[in-house]
Amino acid sequence: MSDSKVIVVFGATGVQGRYLIEALSSNNSPNSDSTPWTIIALSRNVTSSTSTSLAKLPGVRVVQVEADVMDVPIKAFAATGVEKGKVYGCVSIQGYVDVKTMYSQGCAIGDAAKEWGVKHFVYSSGDVGNKGTAGFAEFDIKLSVEKHLTTLFPNSHTYLRPVQFMETWTSTDFIFRMGRTVAAKFALGPNPEMKHQLISVKDIGRAGAKAFIQGPEWCDGVVRLAGDSLTISEIEAIFNEVLGHPPVYAPYLLAAAVRYMVPVLRGMTTFFGTVGYGINIETCRQELPELEDLRAFLIRTKAK
């Protein structure tokens, strides 16, 4: 471990965290005691199937933390057993929480990492397009977290800025079915030439791993991530081609009612329909040649 760079991962057992850990641990040899990366995956339940599968990866150690790990992250660093100044990197991947919690947790993890002497901080943020703002708090709040993190790690941060996840177009969860229905019927449908950009969560994880391998100088610390750029007609055509049916939507009238009541869906409608992300896909592929387009993503996930 003395020759390894220690990485502490908040959000390790989520989909994005798992992909990041898998990608980074693939650089470790399973048959050697000397590994370039010692990855500490924080988990509220070390006996869960996700935690036990992570623990089998080379160089990965799963550490039990309390339920308030995201709110009081300093306790998580203490639980790792790694001394202050000995942790090279920290990954912060937050779940779906309200705006106030997103900000407080994001800043708290950064503060704790700074106190523990972290050298390189990787934050899973979100893209807001070329204007520097999406125009509504639920998207823009992560930029506010970035500003705080920059005061702590001015030259040693990496901000991953992904566009909308491809997984939100295939998930059976109600919240995601509603989100894609609003995007398709209220944002992209009325603007049929508007290109909507998507990224697979697997690619976000791989980008996070590459950030540590390349160092904070990579992409000047800001990595915009998009794997495909499609109109709604193109999205639906690819779904039909690969899966035999279009994306599964919620009832139109229900989506209309929920959109009316939920501010984030109204903000998302305006952003997706009139502004968009505007990332240069080819530039992304120069940095990450393995990026999946929507067709490749659907083929991979269909096989599971």
Region 24-31 average pLDDT:
88
Average pLDDT, the chain: 96
pLDDT of residue 274: 94
Q: What is the pLDDT of residues 181-216, one digit of tens each?
A: 999 999 999 999 999 999 999 999 999 999 999 999
Which band of pLDDT confidence, cut at 50, 70 and 90, is reported for residue 72? very high
Asked if pLDDT for residue 56 goes beyond 90, the answer is: yes
pLDDT of residue 3: 74
CB 197 within 8 A of CB 279: yes
**Quick one: which of 22, 6, 18 has its CA closest to 43?**
18
Residues of the chain above pLDDT 70, percent:
98
Q: What is the pLDDT of residues 220-250, one digit of tens each?
A: 999 999 999 999 999 999 999 999 999 999 9
pLDDT of residue 123: 99
pLDDT of residue 34: 67
Within 31-160, residue ranges assigned H as helices are 49-55, 73-79, 99-115, 137-152
Strands 196-199 and 164-165: parallel
Residue 261: partners with Cβ closer than 8 Å, 6 or more residues away? none
d(CA 193, CA 106): 36
CB 110 within 8 A of CB 149: yes
Region 130-149 average pLDDT:
95
pLDDT of residue 127: 98
CB 262 within 8 A of CB 173: no
pLDDT of residue 32: 65
* This prediction's pTM: 0.96
Place of tokens 């899966």: 243
**Quick one: which of 206, 38, 224, 221 has its CA closest to 122?**
221
Task: Write the DSSP string, 125-156.
Answer: -----TTS--SSHHHHHHHHHHHHHHHHSTTS
Place of tokens 């901080």: 121
Please give the angle made by the CA atoms of 246, 295 and 159, to the nearest 5 degrees. Answer: 110
Region 21-34 average pLDDT:
86
pLDDT of residue 29: 81
Which band of pLDDT confidence, cut at 50, 70 and 90, is reported for residue 62? very high
